Amino acid sequence: MSAATGVRSTRARRLTTGIAAELGMIVVALLFMFPFYVFLSVALKTPADLAASPLSLPTDPAWANFADAWQRGGLEQALINSAVVTALSVAGLVVCGSTAAYLLARRAQRLSLGLYLVFLLGLMIPLQLGMVPLYQLMRDANLLQTYTSLIIFEVGHQLPLVIFLYTGFLRALPREYEEAARVDGAGPFTSFWRIVLPLLRPITGTVVILSSINIWNDFLTPLLYVGGSAQQTLPVAIFAFRGEFASQWQIIFAGMGIAILPILVVYFLLQKYIIKGFASGIKG
């Protein structure tokens, strides 16, 4: 065999293994996607279709399931509630988190280092331990069944993650801009607002993405605080929905489809940033 044909056959072999690997991964991915197939096909089935086979494709797509779920499930209000709670909590997190991290990153004193460690502890402490005392605080303050209770909770609960992200970023950020502003006579608040906050934009993006997803999907505390009220968020509404529609799985799945649609749309638009945010290995 000449050298040339040897090279060609190695190439050919590489190409075949490449194609085999590609096909293999696609098969794995299809198996992995099976639940999504079930999700979509059940959401589009008529009760008769579903009774005949949970696995088959819908014979005639029952789009009415979505309208049904939307009208009967009170999902519209839940969608608004989730949007309000998430947006306000994230805004609070960006403000409180960035200012606190600015101090923690820039003042190398025993007190500020100690405070930083206290905040980091929050990454580990299970919320279960404080769950009852906090619930009672909210009840005694008459805040149960309000947006306020959830927003206060979500900001406090996500702060360790946010402070961790901001502090790490700030420690690597050069101080020259702030020094220049100081020379020009700017006080700490002015230079934070005018100089530092704009420089934090990349990490603020990560903070917004991670905390939005964590808060949007949160279930346990919202169930306790706003469950059964007009203020309930989407996961809580879906939980109630499942109880209400018991075995009408096609309606339940249509309702769940409506609930995850915003997440999927945002994911496909911003997937590069979302994946990058999660790749840092942080999740609240």
Partner 1 sequence: MTLAQAPAPAEVEEPPRPRRGRSGAARVARIPYAFVVPALLLYGLVVLYPTVAGGVYAFTDWTGRRVAPTFTGLANFAELLAAPAARSALKNTLLIALSTTVLQTVLGLALALALHSSLRSRHLLRTLFFAPALLPPVIVGFLWQYILTPQGPLNEALGAVGLSALQQNWLGDASIALASVIGVIIWQNAGLTMVIYLAGLQGVPAELLEAAEIDGASRWQRLRRVTIPLLIPATTIAMSLTLIGSLKLFDQVYVMTGGGPGYATETLSVVMYKEAFVSGRYGYAAAIALVLTMIVFAFALVQLRGLRRFEVDS
Which residues from 42-101 bind partner 1, rule CB under 8 A? 42, 53-55, 92, 95-97, 99-100
Question: At closest approach, how far in Å is the CB of 262 from partner 1?
Answer: 11
Q: Output b/e per residue, 126-154; b: 16+ Cβ within 10 A.
A: eeeeeeeebbeebeeeebbbbbbbbbbbb
- Choose between 5 and 141: whose C-beta lies nearer to partner 1: 141
Q: Please, are residues 129 and 178 in contact by the beta-carbon 8 Å criterion?
A: no
DSSP states of 153-195: HHHHHHHHHHHHHHHHHHHTS-SHHHHHHHHTT--HHHHIIII
- Choose between 90 and 134: whose C-beta lies nearer to partner 1: 134
Question: At closest approach, how far in Å is the CB of 182 from partner 1?
Answer: 5
Residue 157 is encoded by which pair of tokens?
């609960």
- Choose between 5 and 137: whose C-beta lies nearer to partner 1: 137
Distance of CA 135 to the CA centre of its chain: 24
Question: At closest approach, how far in Å is the CB of 253 from partner 1?
Answer: 8
When asked if residue 268 is in the footprint of partner 1 (CB under 8 A), the reply is: yes
Largest Cα separation within the chain, whole Å, is 87
Q: Please, are residues 128 and 255 in contact by the beta-carbon 8 Å criterion?
A: no
Near partner 1 by CB under 8 A: residue from 15, 27, 64, 137? 137
Site for partner 1 in 139-158 (CB under 8 A): 152-153, 155-157
Near partner 1 by CB under 8 A: residue from 77, 146, 148, 217? 217
As a whole number of angstroms, the distance between CA 225 and CA 135 comes to 8
When asked if residue 40 is in the footprint of partner 1 (CB under 8 A), the reply is: no
Stretch that binds partner 1, among 2-10, 57-65, 72-80, 260-268 (CB under 8 A): 260-268
Question: At closest approach, how far in Å is the CB of 6 from partner 1?
Answer: 18
As a whole number of angstroms, the distance between CA 119 and CA 126 comes to 14
When asked if residue 16 is in the footprint of partner 1 (CB under 8 A), the reply is: no
As a whole number of angstroms, the distance between CA 175 and CA 5 comes to 61
- Choose between 137 and 230: whose C-beta lies nearer to partner 1: 137
Question: At closest approach, how far in Å is the CB of 165 from partner 1?
Answer: 5
- Choose between 6 and 130: whose C-beta lies nearer to partner 1: 130
When asked if residue 225 is in the footprint of partner 1 (CB under 8 A), the reply is: no
Near partner 1 by CB under 8 A: residue from 8, 11, 72, 175? 175
Residue 12 is encoded by which pair of tokens?
């050919």
As a whole number of angstroms, the distance between CA 250 and CA 44 comes to 7
Stretch that binds partner 1, among 2-10, 63-71, 72-80, 114-122 (CB under 8 A): 114-122
> Which region holds residue 57: left if phi is over 0, alpha if psi is between -120 and 50, else beta?
beta
